[in-house]
Structure 1
Amino acid sequence: MIPFLLQRTLLLSVTLCLLIIISFSISWLPSDAPLESKPFFDALKYYLTMLSSGDLGTSSVSEQSILEQLLEVFPATIELALLSFIVALALGIPLGVLSGLLEDSFIDRFLRVFSLIGFSLPVLWLGLLLILFFSLTYESLPLSGRLDWRYEIPYQTGFLFFDLWQIPNPLRQAVIEDMFKHLLLPVITLTLAPLAEITYLVRNNCIEINNTLFVRAAKTRRISSFALIRRHILPNAIPQLIPRFGSLFSSMLTMAIITEYVFTWPGIGRWLINSIRQDDYGSISAGVLAIGLFVIIVNTLTNIFAVLLSPSKAKEWQTLG
């Protein structure tokens, strides 16, 4: 366990250094970059000093603190990505187990086709299709935004799920309904690809575990299918997939950038695209750093959690390097 933690700490340090170099390059290399006028070592020293003090600079467009802007937009992205990921897990794990236990049946073939389609559909195309169908044709769901303009929520954490509890009860119910209406199309758009991948991964693991000797021995004891899944298949299938789930959640941030732009969702993706269009290199650098740091933290925590559940994984990853 200790060698594994040391190996992961070293890998984390190297990755953080590379991320800081990339972020610094965005702030120094372009002709209009905020640090472009400084010599390389002076610019690097200044940048590292700013980072160590928690100062990400000021936006060249809005002239506001970049850190304050990040704290305003990042919670909206995490909220959208986390809810989509929870939905993908809640649907993907049961569907994957069902597909794995009914290998080569009609249901299994149907779910494999669904996974293939889910992998293949571009997020941009799916988002526009949902807008065209539900918002423009039938006008049943909101076209864009996070909340209707009539509702104003006092900003505390940036997470609507928490901030809305500050408003009075009669109005709160209407805000919750409106919030879920605005969430529905972005969540469907962002959920489909991870749902397809989770279904596929769980299916393959369930097939592998279902053919092991201890599961065959359990079947001879004539225990129920539910007990077989709960006691033997899920406890062995899911821990192996936790690092993959962490990587999948991280990749959802990339898909969230497109989703936010399509649905005018006020998250870091839309903010970053607007910064790119306006050549706001300080904001671009901070956005890349924030997203990269979040991805590194998520992947590191999921790897450690997977090892705590299954210590044998540490030896496997050490061997793989």
Structure 2
Amino acid sequence: MLFVLIRKLFWIIVTLLILSIMSYYILLKDPLNLLIYDDSLLSYWHYLQSLLQGDFGVSYTSGEPLFNQILRVFPATLSLCISTTLLSLLFGIPLGFLASYNTRNVIGKFLTMLGSLSLALPVFWLAIVLLYYASINQWEVAAVGEIHPIYEIPTITHFKLLDMFLVDVDIEYKLKITQSLAHHLALPTLILAIPATLEVMRMTNEQANFVMKQNYVQVAQIRGWSGFKIWRRHIVCNTLPPIIPQFARNITLIFAFAMLVENVVSWGGIGRWLINAVAVQDYNAVSVGVIVIGVFVLIVDILASFITTLLDPSNKKEWYVR
């Protein structure tokens, strides 16, 4: 157990070091930073100490501390990822089981074929098409941005929906803000949920098909168990835990797709912020963005591994392997 823990910590540290090195060399692309840093190991060590202290420097375009900018834009992207993940799990898991249950008829084959298109959908093109279609049909969800400009929410946690409930204002005003937030969140969530749902459906379908071929399922059929009992006792319980790490991979895909979609729907997240930083050659912002995104992906992977170990007994043996 101790050996496995040390091994995991070692690879986490190695990953963080690689991210910091990439970030440092991006920083050196700016001639102004060469006045402070150079290619020496001592200079890199000073930069690493600054990162560990939460000192990300300042943006050369606005002069604002980059730490404050990250706190402002990252929750917007995270809100989009959370809503998309919940929607994809809500529809993707039942559709995956439906495809597996009907694997020999037209419905199952159609859903299986649809699931194979999950990563083939160009999400940037899909965002433009859905935005155009919603606009010409005058859908209320065709709104761009995070909230209508006439509304103002005091910043507390930087999550607008949460901040709206924390502020002490009239209930009718809160309802209007909630409606505006929902209108602006609906379209980007729908855009991202289409490939994410198809990917969850594909993963669930493949794992359920694998479980249905196991001996204990065939023994249950021979014993005369009903289909509902077999699915409840064996297939569902043995399908979901092994695909939790794949759900984590799906979250990182949603995060990557969200950074592309943000520029289309004018969503004030880290993706749009990074694109603007690249456009004006703000290497300080790009350098910090690499660190933040890498750490986020690493945290998601660690949490997925931990939850899988708790839920799937077959993975607990890894903690005792010498």
TM-score class, shorter-chain normalisation, is over 0.9
For residues 175 and 219 of structure 1, do their structure 2 counterparts lie closer, same or farther at Cα, with a shift above 3 Å needed? farther
1:34 alignment counterpart: 33
Give distance in 2, aligned partners of 1:122 and 1:245.
Answer: 20
**Among candidates 272, 290, 293, match of residue 291 of structure 1:** 293
Give distance in 1, aligned partners of 2:178 and 2:223.
Answer: 49
Give distance in 1, aligned partners of 2:26 and 2:319.
Answer: 33
2:240 counterpart of 1:241: no
1:90 alignment counterpart: 90
CA offset digits 1:40-67 (Å, max 9, x no partner) = 2243132112112110000000000000
The Cα shift of 1:102 comes to 1.3
SS of the residue 1:151 aligns to: coil
Give distance in 2, aligned partners of 1:109 and 1:264.
Answer: 38
2:147 is aligned with what amino acid? L
Q: Is the 8 A contact 2:196 2:250 kept in 1?
A: yes
Q: Is the 8 A contact 2:143 2:183 kept in 1?
A: no
Give distance in 1, aligned partners of 2:138 and 2:204.
Answer: 36
Higher mean displacement: 170-179 or 215-224: 215-224
2:185 alignment counterpart: 183
CA offset digits 1:273-299 (Å, max 9, x no partner) = 100101011111111100100100110
1:55 alignment counterpart: 55
Q: Is the 8 A contact 1:4 1:314 kept in 2?
A: no
Gaps of 5+ in 1: none
The Cα shift of 1:229 comes to 2.6
Equivalent residue runs for 1:18-33 within 5 Å:
18-28=18-28, 30-32=29-31
RMSD of aligned residue pairs (Cα, Å): 2.0
Higher mean displacement: 106-115 or 79-88: 106-115
2:35 counterpart of 1:74: no
Equivalent residue runs for 1:1-321 within 5 Å:
1-28=1-28, 30-32=29-31, 34-35=33-34, 38-41=37-40, 42-165=42-165, 166=167, 167-313=169-315
Higher mean displacement: 10-19 or 212-221: 212-221
Give distance in 1, aligned partners of 2:116 and 2:106.
Answer: 15
**Number of matched residues?**
318
1:285 is aligned with what amino acid? S
SS of the residue 1:312 aligns to: helix
Q: Is the 8 A contact 1:4 1:315 kept in 2?
A: no
Gaps of 5+ in 2: none
Give distance in 1, aligned partners of 2:238 and 2:197.
Answer: 20
1:231 is aligned with what amino acid? R
